[in-house]
Amino acid sequence: MPKTSARLLALLSLLQARRDWPGTLLADRLDISLRTVRRDVDRLRELGYPIAAIKGPDGGYRLSAGTELPPLLFDDEQAVALTIALQVAATSTGDALAEAAARALTTIRQVLPARLRNRVEALRVTAVERPATRPAAPVDGDVLLAISAAVRAREVLRFDYGDEDADRAPRRAEPHHVITWDGRWYLIAWDLDRADWRTFRADRMSLRTPNGPRFTPRELPGGDVATYVIGKFRGSEDGNWPCQGTVILDLPAATVALYTRDGIIEEAGPGRCRLTLESWSWPALAAAIARYDADIEVVGPAELTDAFGHLARRFARTAAKS
């Protein structure tokens, strides 16, 4: 029979794996008697684990929620997933939560076995906050770990990307950062063949081995990964949209605020408001403003007025064809 300490850990691991456990099944899995199961459950209760007894023909046990958090056990996959989640929380939440996540991450790293510590120490993830508008694209965890390890080791990555012909020479890039954005994982890297910064979707990368030589990291445009990524997806490297305009809408500010996430809204008299929005092009900005379905007065600039005229002519041609 295993020693008491080893038996208790095995029992705790089983209780965490599923909601309800019949006593006879626990005894069978642990190769002990029902009486020993009952004694071990009592020992776990004394240690603070809230284990409830289940009524029934054979009886059973359930690990319930308690008033305090007792020690927990994690398998290898859970430990890696928890490390990734805590890194994201530590870089993307408010100050208090980020500090708590960082402390939890340190605690977990201290007790990880060597085989896992080396893997998760190579994992460096930065989360750029934005509400996800689509389900996360599935990414192989080993790919994320390998990319992150290359970032940390400063080794050139070699990989096939997307639907490119596998017979072609692989892409070569100096990996800089692994990030999350809008439900997807991305690698920010310097593309050696194109001599420019590129953003690669991790779910489209098929890594080649071995990695290339070590490199000296380049300075990311803007100097800050969050600023660079936001600017990259918005269409400018300084984090601002290339087109910004202001209009007066014949709608109350409170109404417009319900449907505006990024704009600046100000009161402009009874039932009217002043709205400032940004977008990647002037027609796109005009179309975004038109969705409020209200009379519009353009404050500026002239490019926005021209964009409304451009859309009006386009819509008129579309209506004439119908």
Q: Supply the pLDDT for residue 242.
A: 81
Judgement on whether residues 115 and 146 belong to the same structural domain of the protein: no
Q: Supply the pLDDT for residue 183.
A: 61
Separation CA 43–CA 201 (nearest Å): 49
User: Which of 209, 234, 259 is the endpoint of a domain?
Assistant: 234
Report the domain count for the chain.
4
Judgement on whether residues 202 and 148 belong to the same structural domain of the protein: yes
Residues of the chain with pLDDT under 50: 1, 67, 93-95, 131-132
Q: What's 277's domain CATH number?
A: 3.30.70
Helices and strands, counts by H and E, the chain: 11, 13
Residue 291 lies in a domain: yes
User: Residue 197 in contact with residue 189, Cβ under 8 Å?
Assistant: yes
Q: What's 156's domain CATH number?
A: 2.30.30
Tell the residue number behind the tokens 């996540």, with chain if given: 101
Q: Supply the pLDDT for residue 129.
A: 52
Residue 126 lies in a domain: no
Separation CA 180–CA 187 (nearest Å): 9
Residue 27 lies in a domain: yes
Q: What's 45's domain CATH number?
A: 1.10.10.10
User: Which of 63, 92, 111 is the endpoint of a domain?
Assistant: 63
C-beta neighbour count of 49 within 10 angstroms:
21
Q: Supply the pLDDT for residue 93.
A: 47
Environment class of residue 282 by beta-carbon count within 10 Å: exposed (0-12), middle (13-18) or buried (19+)? buried
Helices (H), 201-278: 225-234, 253-257
Residue 23 lies in a domain: yes
Of 161, 76, 149, 163, whose CA–CA distance to 114 is shortest?
Answer: 76
User: Which of 175, 204, 234 is the endpoint of a domain?
Assistant: 234
- Residue 155 carries which DSSP code? B
Judgement on whether residues 27 and 96 belong to the same structural domain of the protein: no
Strand partners, 273: 249, 267
Q: Supply the pLDDT for residue 240.
A: 65
Tell the residue number behind the tokens 């939560």, with chain if given: 97
Q: Supply the pLDDT for residue 12.
A: 79
Domain, as residue range, for 160: 141-234
Q: Supply the pLDDT for residue 239.
A: 52
Judgement on whether residues 293 and 247 belong to the same structural domain of the protein: yes
Judgement on whether residues 109 and 163 belong to the same structural domain of the protein: no
Separation CA 298–CA 300 (nearest Å): 6
Residue 105 lies in a domain: yes
Q: Supply the pLDDT for residue 5.
A: 72
Of 222, 170, 219, 179, whose CA–CA distance to 201 is shortest?
Answer: 179
Q: Supply the pLDDT for residue 166.
A: 55
Instruction: Name the CA radius of gyration of the chain, rounded.
Output: 28
Residue 197 lies in a domain: yes
Q: Supply the pLDDT for residue 67.
A: 46
Max Cα–Cα distance, the chain, nearest Å: 86
Judgement on whether residues 214 and 286 belong to the same structural domain of the protein: no
Residue 68 lies in a domain: no
Of 214, 149, 213, 239, whose CA–CA distance to 187 is shortest?
Answer: 149
Q: Supply the pLDDT for residue 1.
A: 46
Q: Is 112 helix (H, G, I), strand (E, B) or coil?
A: coil
Separation CA 60–CA 41 (nearest Å): 11
Residue 178 lies in a domain: yes
Q: Which amino acid makes up residue 42?
A: D
Q: Is 273 helix (H, G, I), strand (E, B) or coil?
A: strand
Judgement on whether residues 152 and 229 belong to the same structural domain of the protein: yes
Judgement on whether residues 247 and 229 belong to the same structural domain of the protein: no
